[in-house]
Structure 1
Amino acid sequence: AQTAPHWEDPEVIEINKEPGRAIFHSWDNAQKAVKGDVAQAFHQSLDGHWYFHLSHNPDGRPEGFYLPGFDYSGWDKIEVPGNWEVQGYDVPIYVNHPYEFADPRTPITDLQNGPEPPRVPRDYNPVGSFRHTFHVSEAWDGREIFIHFGSVKSAFYLWINGEKVGYSQGSKLPTEFNITPWIQPGQENQMAVQVFRWSDASYLECQDFWRISGISRRVFLYSQPKVRIKDFEVVSVLDDRYRDGRFSLFTEIANHNPGNERLWLEYRLLDKENEIARGEQAAKVTAGENILLEFHRELPDITPWSAENPYLFTLLIALKDRRGRVLESTSTRIGFRSVEIKRGQLLVNGVPITLKGVNIHEHHHETGHVLIEEMMLEDIRLMKQFNINAVRLSHYPFPERWYELCDEHGLYVVDEANIESHGLYYGERSLAHNPDWELAHVDRIVRMIERTRNHPSVITWSMGNEAGNGVNFYAGYHAAKDADRTKRPVQYERVEIGSRFQLMFDWNSDIIVPQYPGPSTFEWFGQRVLDRPFIPSEYAHSMGNSTGNFQEYWDEINKYPQLQGGFIWDWVDQGIRHTDDEGRSFFAYGGHFGEGMPTDGNFLLNGIVFPDRRIQPAMHEVKKAHESVRFSLLFSNDSMARVLVENLYDFTPLDKFDYVAYIKADGQKVKSIEVPQPAAQPHTSEVLVLDIGGVDVQPATEYFLHLEVRTPEATTMVPAGHIVANEQILLPWEAEHVIGERILPGLTLSRKEEVVSFENDELRVVFDTRSGRMTQYRWQGTEFLSQGEGPAPDMWRAVTDNDFGNGMHRNNIAWKKATMEAEVAGFAVGPKGEGAYEVQVAWKLPYVSTRWETRYTVMGDGRVHVYNKLLASEVESSDIPRVGMVMNMNTEFEHFTWYGRGPWENYCDRNISAFVDVYKSHVNDQMVPYIRPQENGNKTGVRWASLANNEGTGLMMISDRDNEREGLEVTAMPYASVDFDAREQYEYGPVHLELAYIEQVEPRDYIRWNIDYGQRGVAGINSWGAGPLDKYLLKVDRDYEYGFTLVPFSGESREEIVRISKMR
């Protein structure tokens, strides 16, 4: 039988590759090792521009390209590290769970019947051939020389100076080869690399991200002496009382010399610059053999590492010859930290911790899977500032530098093996059950652990994601325990057995880590005694305008001890910068590259930050729900408030922070309050007594107590004065509301055919009896309305990604039809006392069998009161997307002010972070640029809002005090709602595949102003079926009533605007 090539043989995962190890550098003395300067180490970067040739398939590979005499001068040059698809070669493909090379949607594969592991396409399987020349210093002569590839996808061969060195696969862990036999120190050396886009390894790399290939992490040479430190493992944990440190060092020494060697191994442990431990021992190493040396030490009163206090020590290791001369010195930073599971809880340093986590992909908006350190630092900075303390590396190990930064700045890490075979699903075909694939599974798990087990930030190992469960993961679990002397918890999400509320879990996961449970599932598990912690590996799917009901999750987490957090899906929208035919730069997603290629569209845009790391509104909600200091009002009167402050930190007492308190009314601070310094220890609380007296309470005015917790001093990630937690509490203060008498100027009523008008010297208001709309609103010579489009019923919104997922575009489409095809069923006019008229309009709403009734009261001073009532419907849809009115204002009214929740976009199920205040903005800044256009820019709890021009003339909306809800919902921007909708009419189709992007949306020549009773929530459990929680739906089986007053103004001061807002 014909032998399968290496790249189609699951039992050939490497040839001549070095074993896994901790990544460290080699210096020639301890002083250099302490500094950690790689430029002074025996290290040589090979990153840069390499010669490159791309073949369409393996048969087209250039023959003999690795030979020294091969002429590659005509080849292109490509950046390394880099994904070739992002550099203009071949096609970036995005699919979620299918195998992109065996997808029936593409015409270019010979695997038309689906995946056939381990076979990969022969007709279309691009192969990248690389050539690069480098010089090696003569100083490296007589040393062992290695080459390090940080990441190569998916499989590759290496040649040095025309000689084949080896083969490797497993694209998210380093590959190292000992190239000493083939290298020529002091001379130019030639390297050839051949990379296959797809190999049998691709069957284990079916993750939900861009399927792109190449050499995507750094490449470098390093050298070590003939007798060298091959690897070391550090065990630095706490004793049973969690006070003293237990330190062990296991160091493997290799002897490449032809004779036996006697040597000394020494370690020094430094706390900053102070040595706190030292040890040395002599050893003999047989020629060509390895030995393992051990040190053990107890260290009293050690400062432990945690994400809240990432305290690190420097470990120096030196290898000396028999005369005491240093052969090699290296260093690493370690932390003392214990991780264990006791009584069904995950403990760090003996304390049950809460993981406020996100899943993160290795993604850069311009370079694909190539991350630079500046981007890593920006990610960590944002996480620290927005109360995220944990990351799950989804779904593969990250670059080594990421772990070092997490150690330094304090993030808990779930390190996950590069295993996902989602495209084969979880039944009999799953590779988890196939013993031919055991080596590939176990090797990926063990190599991951061997590389990062010395990092204190890594607190659990994950064996992979969505790859079924079976014998290969049973073997992987045992191998993981054997590879890590600290016995960290091992987790795996696919150990679920059963369905929601009937779940059981297989034995090979130390933590229950399900995907996408809703708040009710959190509660269900919280109410039970579990043998393991409950920490969902993925929840709160944040696709597009999403992350609703996030606080509901944390209400449950903070209530039940075994609910210890979770990991949001996910951190960053995976858009890639691209340019369209009109020269517009935009973030591309699946389908924007390569006509006819398989795609799952925008399903990789699930982040709470945009691809370039600009934050999305959902980030503020995450920060608020993740807060570790919580305030609640116990009692207040007109002079004193008792406030409960709860310390939800795991290790930090509250006296580490500064506190600020004040009272605001109508957007102004009316009193500053001295806060007694809290000192509550972690997981405890205390009561603060605040002096809130001395405020002159005014009628029709809300008074809010604000409390802020701030950092007293700057760290590298968080500035001084940064707010880590805050709260806004409405004080129950009321003063008698005096309704002023107003004498209204007279109005003249005119009727002419289908036009009804009201006017006096300063005012002209016109209605069209056919459309039922106000068509003119002119006051003191200024026209507010654009194109005669005054308020009209609006019961639809541009469909969000979650709306698509839960079928709103199908199930609720009758409300869009009703909005677009509403018919006037009645129009009546009559006097309403002196100087006022009432206009009653009734709209028949087809498809939903109900009516919308609006009653206008037009007053001679320019005010127009609008009262709306939507009657209950018996339509089959369970809810109404929106209950509101929309009007179009002239573009000059571009200055938007509102008194409500803000300043960022918020919705009824995502607004706990948006405090009530007076905010000012420009209408051009109100759009949130979700990559695929959809509903955006809403504000909730709006008591009043105004649009004004540069001269200070404008129109104010004042919510009625007797409205059912706390204020109204308002949107104001120079875009129509339909501009963000995937369809102007009613048939939507597979919208996520239609490749729309926000840069295609052009501003209109008017400002859309929605004044709504409300919208349905944006939802946030998942994006493939779950809708908003029931309490965030506008049910069809009831009436909705709300009112507001439109008030013109001109040049008034801020105080006058506030005074007008209180007029009724």
Structure 2
Amino acid sequence: NVENFKNHPSVIIWSLGNECGGVGTNFVEAMNTVKKIDLTRFLHYERFGIGKNNPSDFDGKMYGTPEQFAAIAQNKELTKPFYICEYAHAMFNSMGSLTEYSEMFDNNPNIVGGAIWEYQDQALWNKRDPNHPILAYGGGFGEFPNDHYFIHKGVVSYDRSISGTKVKPHYPEMKKAYQWIKTELIDPSKGTIRIKNKYQFISLDGFAGEWNVTENGVKIAEGKFDVPHIEAFNESIVNLPVKVENPKAGAEYFLNVSYTQKGNTLWANRGFEVAAEQFKLPINTPAMNGSKSAVPVKIKKDGNLVKISGNGFSLVFDQKTGFMTQLNKAEKNLLVEGESPKLVLWRAAHRNDDMWTYDNWSKYGLNSLTYSPVDFKVTKVDKSSVKVVSKIKAEGKEGFEAYHTATYLIKGDGSVKVENDVTFAGPRINLGRIGIRYRLDKQLDRVTYFGRGPQENYSDRKTGAFVGLYDLAVHNQYEYEKPMEYGNHEDVRWAELSGGNLPSIQFNADDHLMQISAIPYTDEEMFPVEYKIDLPKSNSTVFTLSTKTLGVGSASCGPKPLPEYLIWTDETHFTYSIKL
């Protein structure tokens, strides 16, 4: 290869290989031979390690935390450039913390750079059975031995789609983390931004600027601006005509700044967005007036059932189980018959990135909890409100228990405030999430929400998902070929489900915001299935509302989610409300 490609202008570094032996005789001889053939380029081999015993031109290490990499870069005893040949792993639903890694690269210029493993998903179509086409991973063609799930990985999908529902959610996150124009909001009152050119060789003359302001996700102002002449590694100040007059009570305002190409290039056309940033504007908005409901609410008991009804709605609880069994609006039950909102603590494991903790989920029975009532009370607060307090024990295995107390404040106007207290007994372990799962009628197949999107996002993979007003189809989201939990959206203010001939239902977060997903399958249905074509026919819209969601990390090859993105079995309180 060295002899063949030594004159190729795209080759900048030679590598001896990937994940082979250490500082052995053969590798050292190979390095020396390469140096004899080509004296103009550096040579890297990660398994030579770092420090005085490393004979290559670079110190190298693959897979570690940003903190670990920064410590190596700042070690004064190490004098060679530091190259991280792999630092994040893009297998199925993974590739967390790119923002932290990108900041680490920016703050440590003696790090040459790093690579994600890898760019394009390696999936291959197997259409030998025309009735059962699959994007095959290891064993998908009947071959043996194989690496099973491990072959499905890539920042972009198998066909390199960068638009539509075939776009892997990893792509916009990487695009955001790797953008070469940095924007800071330094004076919101004047719309003053600082633009920094992170490119190493070119100015920003080839880019045009655009901005807009949104109010609760709706664009209310927009404009274009001239990007100043900024040479590589330099910065400049720009004032944007950003002004919000007469802010609405309770509204949120965001400034979005974008940079696009002025002309066509070999790699992208005019108008292609190369960088973008979003800022929440610190605008003092008037407080929302809390309206008091004067609509009467009724309580009716029939055996074990308790029915709370008001203006065009009713909720039915079973005192024997402690669960809500009906959520009626306009005399139509929005819950699947026989299903109830329940505490959920796990997720259909992201393969293989969740396997470091899934073993505990299975060992302690988080994926097969048994629910039993502890206490149930109904209290008439006043003529227009009723309080229902339901305490449920969710029992797993080997001493694991969770206690969920849901306090429903039901008002006659159709508003339901739900306060949740969750405590745990048994071992302290990591969780997939802490939330409530609703099995809703499958006709409710569209979701409008105010939160991060449009692509799925997680606590450690959300920087490329801006806060906005989005609409998604439950059956038209990016799905992984091996079924697993997907479709999460972070920092959601509210979400409304609608569809078919059913009335809509809206869920609202408290000040701490919420995470939501609305997909056609339960975790229990997805986990054992090898290929998505073999999933059972959907019989519900599975709406999960969480207060905490586990990050995705890169644990199939690298580190698990960073500490700030882990969820533990610690006492938790969260609130949300339902509007019927």
Give the TM-score, by structure 2 length. Answer: 0.93
2:432 to 881, 891, 895: 881
> Cα distance, 1:465 vs. partner?
1.9
Poorly superposed stretches of 4+, deviation over 6 Å: none
Q: Percent identity?
A: 28
Alignment partner of 1:959 is 2:509: yes
Task: Name the SS for the 1:812 alignment partner.
Answer: helix
In structure 1, how many angstroms separate the alpha carbons of the residues matched to 2:439 and 2:216? Answer: 27
Deviation readout 1:280-328 (Å, 9 max, x if unpaired): xxxxxxxxxxxxxxxxxxxxxxxxxxxxxxxxxxxxxxxxxxxxxxxxx
Partner letter of residue 504 of structure 1? Answer: G
> Cα distance, 1:950 vs. partner?
4.5
Task: Give 1:798-947 correspondences, 5 Å limit.
Answer: 798-806=348-356, 808-813=357-362, 816-817=365-366, 820-846=369-395, 847-871=399-423, 873=424, 875-926=426-477, 928-947=478-497
Partner letter of residue 405 of structure 2? Answer: E
In structure 1, how many angstroms separate the alpha carbons of the residues matched to 2:52 and 2:563? Answer: 29
Deviation readout 1:223-247 (Å, 9 max, x if unpaired): xxxxxxxxxxxxxxxxxxxxxxxxx
Alignment partner of 1:1043 is 2:567: no
> Cα distance, 1:635 vs. partner?
2.3
Please name the residue that 1:475 is paired with: 29
Give the unaligned 5+ runs of structure 2. 162-166
Aligned residues: 570
Q: 1:473·1:508 contact (CA, 8 Å) conserved in 2?
A: no
Alignment partner of 1:685 is 2:235: yes
Please name the residue that 2:116 is paired with: 568
> Cα distance, 1:1032 vs. partner?
0.4
1:654 to 204, 207, 213: 204
Q: 1:842·1:851 contact (CA, 8 Å) conserved in 2?
A: yes
Q: 1:795·1:815 contact (CA, 8 Å) conserved in 2?
A: no
Partner letter of residue 1039 of structure 1? Answer: E
> Cα distance, 1:764 vs. partner?
2.0
Q: 1:547·1:1018 contact (CA, 8 Å) conserved in 2?
A: yes
Alignment partner of 1:636 is 2:188: yes
More off after superposition, 939-948 vs 819-828: 819-828
Deviation readout 1:187-209 (Å, 9 max, x if unpaired): xxxxxxxxxxxxxxxxxxxxxxx
Partner letter of residue 548 of structure 2? Answer: G
> Cα distance, 1:462 vs. partner?
1.0
Alignment partner of 1:981 is 2:531: no
In structure 1, how many angstroms separate the alpha carbons of the residues matched to 2:412 and 2:368? Answer: 31
Please name the residue that 1:552 is paired with: 100
In structure 2, how many angstroms separate the alpha carbons of the residues matched to 1:833 and 1:861? Answer: 13
Alignment partner of 1:718 is 2:249: no
1:488 to 31, 36, 41: 41
Task: Name the SS for the 1:539 alignment partner.
Answer: strand
Task: Name the SS for the 2:88 alignment partner.
Answer: coil
Q: 1:755·1:767 contact (CA, 8 Å) conserved in 2?
A: yes
Please name the residue that 1:247 is paired with: none
Partner letter of residue 274 of structure 2? Answer: V
Please name the residue that 1:390 is paired with: none
2:543 to 1002, 1009, 1015: 1009
1:621 to 166, 173, 177: 173
In structure 1, how many angstroms separate the alpha carbons of the residues matched to 2:384 and 2:213? Answer: 40
Task: Name the SS for the 1:538 alignment partner.
Answer: strand
1:1018 to 552, 555, 559: 552
Task: Name the SS for the 2:459 alignment partner.
Answer: coil
Q: 1:590·1:602 contact (CA, 8 Å) conserved in 2?
A: yes
Task: Give 1:758-837 correspondences, 5 Å limit.
Answer: 758-760=308-310, 762-806=312-356, 808-813=357-362, 816-817=365-366, 820-837=369-386
Partner letter of residue 520 of structure 1? Answer: E
Alignment partner of 1:598 is 2:130: no
Deviation readout 1:321-376 (Å, 9 max, x if unpaired): xxxxxxxxxxxxxxxxxxxxxxxxxxxxxxxxxxxxxxxxxxxxxxxxxxxxxxxx
Please name the residue that 1:538 is paired with: 86
In structure 2, how many angstroms separate the alpha carbons of the residues matched to 1:632 and 1:1009? Answer: 36
Please name the residue that 1:514 is paired with: 61
In structure 1, how many angstroms separate the alpha carbons of the residues matched to 2:310 and 2:236? Answer: 62
Partner letter of residue 481 of structure 1? Answer: K
Deviation readout 1:936-965 (Å, 9 max, x if unpaired): 11000000001112568300111113x3xx
Partner letter of residue 729 of structure 1? Answer: F
2:134 to 567, 586, 597: 586
Partner letter of residue 1047 of structure 1? Answer: K
Task: Give 1:252-401 correspondences, 5 Å limit.
Answer: none
Alignment partner of 1:453 is 2:3: no
Alignment partner of 1:997 is 2:518: no
In structure 1, how many angstroms separate the alpha carbons of the residues matched to 2:565 and 2:426? Answer: 19
Residue 999 and residue 1027 in structure 1: after superposition, are their counterparts in 2 closer, same or farther (change >3 A)? Answer: same
In structure 2, how many angstroms separate the alpha carbons of the residues matched to 1:548 and 1:735? Answer: 34
In structure 1, how many angstroms separate the alpha carbons of the residues matched to 2:123 and 2:289? Answer: 55
Partner letter of residue 473 of structure 1? Answer: F
Task: Give 1:716-755 correspondences, 5 Å limit.
Answer: 716-755=266-305
> Cα distance, 1:981 vs. partner?
1.4
Residue 838 and residue 626 in structure 1: after superposition, are their counterparts in 2 closer, same or farther (change >3 A)? Answer: same
> Cα distance, 1:574 vs. partner?
2.1
RMSD: 2.1
Please name the residue that 1:1056 is paired with: none
In structure 1, how many angstroms separate the alpha carbons of the residues matched to 2:29 and 2:367? Answer: 59
In structure 2, how many angstroms separate the alpha carbons of the residues matched to 1:507 and 1:814? Answer: 43
Please name the residue that 1:281 is paired with: none
Give the unaligned 5+ runs of structure 1. 1-447, 497-502, 983-994, 1049-1064
Task: Name the SS for the 2:199 alignment partner.
Answer: coil
| Bigger CA radius of gyration | 1
Task: Name the SS for the 1:474 alignment partner.
Answer: helix
In structure 2, how many angstroms separate the alpha carbons of the residues matched to 1:897 and 1:492? Answer: 50
Compare relative contact order (CA 8 Å, sep 6+) and give the higher one, 1 or 2: 2
Give the TM-score, by structure 1 length. Answer: 0.52
Task: Give 1:72-221 correspondences, 5 Å limit.
Answer: none
Task: Name the SS for the 2:87 alignment partner.
Answer: coil
Q: 2:549·2:567 contact (CA, 8 Å) conserved in 1?
A: yes
> Cα distance, 1:554 vs. partner?
0.9
Partner letter of residue 715 of structure 1? Answer: T
In structure 2, how many angstroms separate the alpha carbons of the residues matched to 1:938 and 1:735? Answer: 29
> Cα distance, 1:1043 vs. partner?
1.1
Q: 1:648·1:683 contact (CA, 8 Å) conserved in 2?
A: yes
> Cα distance, 1:677 vs. partner?
2.5
Q: 2:354·2:552 contact (CA, 8 Å) conserved in 1?
A: no
Please name the residue that 2:518 is paired with: 972
Residue 656 and residue 1025 in structure 1: after superposition, are their counterparts in 2 closer, same or farther (change >3 A)? Answer: closer
Q: 1:902·1:914 contact (CA, 8 Å) conserved in 2?
A: yes
> Cα distance, 1:551 vs. partner?
1.1
More off after superposition, 842-851 vs 852-861: 842-851
In structure 1, how many angstroms separate the alpha carbons of the residues matched to 2:245 and 2:222? Answer: 10
In structure 1, how many angstroms separate the alpha carbons of the residues matched to 2:456 and 2:483? Answer: 15
Task: Name the SS for the 2:107 alignment partner.
Answer: coil
Q: 1:907·1:938 contact (CA, 8 Å) conserved in 2?
A: yes
